[in-house]
Amino acid sequence: MRRPVLGAAVLLGVSLLACLGPYPNVGEKLDVVNLVNGTSYIALDAGAARILILAPFDGGPAAAPFTRIDEQQPRAVQTLQGTYFGDATDRLKVTFSSTTLFSLPNEASKPVSDRDGAERTQFSPPRESRARIDTNTEEVLDLSGSGDVAGHFLTLLGRTAIITGTDATAAACAFHLANLAVESSEARIPGFNSAEMTQYLNRVEFFQGILSGTVSVNLVGLFSPVVTTTFSNYADFEGVVLDGVQVSSTNASGDGALTGILGFRIQRKGLPDLVGQVDYRAVSLTGGNESGDYLVLLDGGAEVPVPTGRRIPSLEQCLGL
């Protein structure tokens, strides 16, 4: 009897504070990600990262899964998932058929109670994007055509090999890459960055990484919410694996602080992994927006404060693009 009463109280409290967005489907699954085991590519356009994960395909009409992750600064993520297949008559023509879009919009200017947060859209029929392969080598993939997938892509593992040493620049670059994976994961947690996080009150929900591992989310306390996000061998794309905890403790307006330590491994082609961690204790939250410094420590190096906000150095500089 206590839990229904608690549920009704939560509902009443939330209704007074915020909107939860449109009605969900009855019996809707929280996690519907498709796992994609394949090569990860990255393209950059004025600081915005586009990551493309392509499972191997034979160039013909047999479909293979793909994922495309777009990340813009400040935090805004759009992840497309579906399948892609070639043209039987022209091996350079490829069609991407998207079935699911995970989006985390940039709502930094809105109060937490007005935010939509992370949402999922299913395309029925699938959204088709046509592209042409202009270049396809071991390191480079150039796609032209639909804006959904076009770009000058380089293999991620080849690019991360450029990050070497344990100095402040290497630490910042390693953190920026790890943070790409953190933000990518947030787009797939329905309601993330909004009042709809109340659905995780007193429950732990797990979400699979696109490549491996899980991230779990749990909320304790309605009016002083503490959200614990736990990564376990989590990878959405090649090159970054996360293990650790991020905890946000705020009031109902999203003012508070981050804590927790998140470990990361940056995988590099032909080099040992770059191992480090980010300590969130120097990050403050105001209206759900981060300020302060991430304290990044690479194995064998010293702790380096990396400011929140714009990436310094940029990903282009970090990855030599």
For binding to another protein (CB under 8 A), which residues are involved? 3-4, 7-8, 10-12, 14-15, 19-31, 190, 199, 203, 205-206
Rounded CA-CA distance 162/315 in Å is 11
Q: Which is nearer to another protein, 31 or 293 (by Cβ)?
A: 31
For residue 100, give the nearest of 114, 76, 83 by alpha carbon: 83
Task: Select 221 or 263, whichever has its Cβ closest to another protein.
Answer: 221
Q: In the chain, what is the greatest distance between 2 CA atoms, to the nearest angstrom?
A: 64
Select 3 or 310, whichever has its Cβ closest to another protein.
3
> In this complex, which beta carbon is closest to another protein, that of residue 30 or of residue 261?
30
Please name the residues in contact with 56: beta carbons below 8 A apart, sequence gap of 6 or more: 38, 39, 64
Min dist CB 229 to another protein, Å, is 17
> Strands 261-268 and 289-298, how do they pair?
unpaired
Judged by CB, which is closer to another protein: 25, or 89? 25
d(CA 34, CA 64): 12
Rounded Cα–Cα distance for residues 50 and 152 (Å): 10
Task: Provide the token pair at 59.
Answer: 């160039």
Work out how close the CB of 3 gets to another protein at its nearest, in angstroms, rounded to a whole number.
4
Pick between residue 191 and residue 276 the one whose CB is nearest to another protein: 191
Report whether 228 contacts 222 (CB < 8 A).
no
Residue where the block lists tokens 């404060």 = 305
CB of 202 to another protein, least distance (A): 9
- Count Cβ atoms within 10 A of the Cβ of residue 272 and give its class: 0-12 exposed, 13-18 middle, 19 or more buried: exposed
> Across 184-259, where does the E strand assignment appear?
204-208, 212-220, 226-235, 240-250, 256-259
